[in-house]
Amino acid sequence: MPFNLNTLVRPNILALEPYRCARDDFKEGILLDANENAHGPAIQDLDDEEQLLQLHRYPDPHQLELKKLIVEFRNAENVFDVDKQDIITPENLCLGVGSDESIDALIRTVCRPTKDKLLICPPTYGMYSICATINEVEIVKVPLNLDTFQIDPEEINKAIANDPTIKIVYITTPGNPTGTLIDFKLIEKVLNNENFNGVVVADEAYVDFAPVGSSLATLVNKYPNLVVMQTLSKSFGLAAIRLGITFATKRLAGILNALKAPYNISTLTSSVATRAVSPQSIKHMREVVQLLNSERSRLVDELLKFPNVSKLLGGESANFLLVQVVDKKGDPSSEDAKYIYEKLATTKGVVIRYRGNELGCPGGLRITVGTKEENDILLEKFQDVSKDLL
């Protein structure tokens, strides 16, 4: 069945009328319509900036100013051939409380509990499976190519052909824990599957650590079955504000906006995010990313000098590395990797992530790129701990 949003979206969601809240109609004047506390916050020492935020008022339910800045940012970096009528606008966006809310919202929109399924490509981000389980949606797994950590579009399309209840294909690009940017030509083979009445989700949490122009966000109008998810947690360094961004066709974005809670993005989050995606802040973000990417390259060079680190398992398109630990014989060793992980955390005060139990990642350790000083300590302590295994 070809892509058709009318038959893909659950009927109850398609018919959903968005909740009309007080701030949909009026934002100025003597506001006595939303049962807010007219005397303001119960905090006596708010600074001038906090006073301006009017924290006793409900936040803007639409966040148009923020959406405009996000769209301008992605359109400015677009490298794809996009017709004028397909250029993305704020109407293509839905904002969520982190990417996790966005993942859950899309599942609830198109997947009927106990009936529909979603497809993932392990090794991948764990929240897809958790959200699917919560929503009683079965998971179909088509592993990445374990030599390249690219997707296998032929196997994905085969799975779709065998099971028309698959409604979502989640692709993490760059991958987590792999750090590998997925080739768009491979994704396009799934998007062009004329027998798939479902959506392909490109989860781009780490995309700004890949070459500029890697984001697929500007293609959601050209490919109506494409959904792109992003976050300000990684490259913008704003994990604490919990802002996730979903790019989709205007109609699907409208449906997702109708589904979300009316005031899901707080004024505090909106204020910080708006400052972060201003042109000046984006320039600073790019400078920081350049520093981190330079450190990423240095870490690769230095870690591969250690006798019990055999290779970089994944790619170099995120702010982390996935390396493989080997034993004295040179064989991948998850046992040794776990020893290094535990010893670093418990005796050296350096915390990385053990990933040796992930598909295709024997002996895997995922290491976030820190500051130069943090990376120097990591390398020193890693060497100390790994000597115990030689």
**What pLDDT is stored for residue 19 in this prediction?**
77
**Same domain (yes/no): 299, 252:** no
Q: What is the pLDDT of residue 20?
A: 76
DSSP 59: P
- In this structure, of 12-16, 173-177, 339-343, the range with the lowest mean pLDDT score is 12-16
Q: What is the CATH number of the domain that holds 335?
A: 3.90.1150.10
The structural domain count of the chain equals 2
Task: Let me know if residue 52 belongs to a domain.
Answer: no
Instruction: Give the Cα separation of 155 and 143 in Å (integer).
Output: 9
Angle at alpha carbon of residue 137, lines to 206 and 223, rounded to 5°? 50
- The whole-angstrom separation of Cα 110 and Cα 46 is 43
Produce one character per residue of 173-184: b if its CB has 16 or more CB atoms within 10 Å, e if not: bbbbbbbbbbee
Q: What percent of the chain has pLDDT over 90?
A: 85
pLDDT of residue 26: 78
Residues 251 and 322 in one domain: no
pLDDT at 311 over 80: yes
CA-to-CA separations, 350 to 89, 232, 295, 297, 374, in angstroms, rounded: 43, 25, 17, 20, 9
Considering the domain architecture, whether residues 106 and 171 belong to the same structural domain is answered as yes
The mean pLDDT of 374-379, rounded to a whole number, is 98
Share of the chain above pLDDT 70, in %: 100
Higher pLDDT, 47 or 67: 67
Are residues 327 and 261 both part of a single domain?
A: no
Find the domain containing 297 and state its range. 282-389
Q: Is the pLDDT of residue 383 over 90?
A: yes
> Do 73 and 192 belong to one domain?
yes
Confidence of residue 16 (pLDDT cuts 50, 70, 90): confident
Q: Please indicate, yes or no, whether residues 244 and 319 belong to a single structural domain of this protein.
A: no
Beta-carbon contacts of residue 279 (< 8 Å; ≥ 6 apart): none
pLDDT of 21 higher than 80 = no
Same domain, 75 and 187: yes
- With a threshold of 0.85, does the pTM exceed it? yes
pLDDT of residue 157: 98
Same domain, yes or no: 268 and 295: no
Q: How far apart are CA 158 and CA 322, in angstroms?
A: 29
| 340 in Cβ contact with 382 (< 8 Å) | yes
pLDDT at 161 over 90: yes
Q: Are 120 and 128 in contact (CB under 8 A)?
A: yes
186-197 average pLDDT score: 97
In this predicted structure, what is the pLDDT of residue 241? 96
Residue identified by tokens 């409380």 is 97
Cα separation, 226 vs 230, whole angstroms: 13
Mean pLDDT, all residues of the chain: 95
pLDDT surpasses 80 at 24: no
Q: ∠ CA 59-64-68 to the nearest 5 degrees?
A: 140
Task: Tell whether the model's pLDDT for residue 86 goes beyond 80.
Answer: yes
Tell me: pLDDT of 23 over 80: no
Q: Give the angle subtended at the CA of 248 by the CAs of 192 and 82, to the nearest 5°.
A: 65
Residue where a domain stops, chosen among 212, 243, 277: 277
Model confidence at 34, pLDDT cuts 50, 70, 90, reads confident
- pLDDT at position 227 is 98
In this predicted structure, what is the pLDDT of residue 245? 97
Whether residues 235 and 97 share a domain: the answer is yes
Domain shared by 268 and 289, yes or no: no
* Per-residue pLDDT at 308: 96
- Domain-located, residue 10: yes
Q: State the Cα–Cα distance between residues 249 and 374, nearest whole angstrom.
A: 42
Residue 155 domain flag: yes
Question: Are 276 and 354 a contacting pair, CB within 8 Å?
Answer: no
Tell me the pLDDT tens digit for each residue of 245-257. 999 999 999 999 9
Return the residue matching tokens 């943090």.
374
346 & 247 share domain: no
* Cβ(82)–Cβ(247) below 8 Å: no
In a domain, 30, yes or no: no
HSE, side-chain direction, 13 A CA sphere, residue 278: 8
Q: How many CB atoms lie within 10 A of CB 254?
A: 15
> Taking a C-beta distance cutoff of 8 angstroms, is the pair 241, 232 a contact?
yes
Reply yes or no on whether the pLDDT at 18 is more than 90. Answer: no
Angle at 31 between CA 26 and CA 33, to 5 degrees: 80
